[in-house]
Amino acid sequence: MMSDLYWLTDEQMARLRPFFPKSHGRPRVDDRRVLSGIIFVNRNGLRWRDAPAEYGPPKTLYNRWKRWSGMGVFARMMEGLAAEADKPRTVMIDATYLKAHRTASSLRAKKGGQGRSGGASSAATPGWAEHQAPRRGRC
């Protein structure tokens, strides 16, 4: 195993285990391995297929994450762990590495700013005129 991999401790697993859904049918694969892999992938911003082999097949990691997310298991874990705290705290999550979607720039127009239809002229928008139908009857 690589030393820089993340593994949940026995104490952490004991705190999380009450939030696990009951296993129906086939027993689940090793919860510690799969949850540690899910945390590792999310913490490092990896694609599922780039997860280290020590965590098992990427499809197993993704399927567990998708299934448990849909069932609200991870949300219940966070709520339950937060409720155990002595006093309420604010947790800040740094999301500065996230990229904006390509349509995010058009949101300015919806908020009353200077979007495409706002104060900008068509001459200021490169390529704008090429996509417009020619005007007739006006000069």
Residue-wise pLDDT tens digits, 13-23: 999 999 999 88
* Model confidence pLDDT, tens digit, residues 69-90: 999 999 999 888 888 877 776 7
Q: Domain extents for the chain?
A: 33-89
Which segments of the chain does DSSP mark as H helices, in order? 10-16, 31-44, 58-71, 73-83, 107-110
| pTM (two decimals) | 0.61
Q: What are the φ and ψ backbone dihedral angles of 76, each rounded to 5 degrees?
A: -65, -35
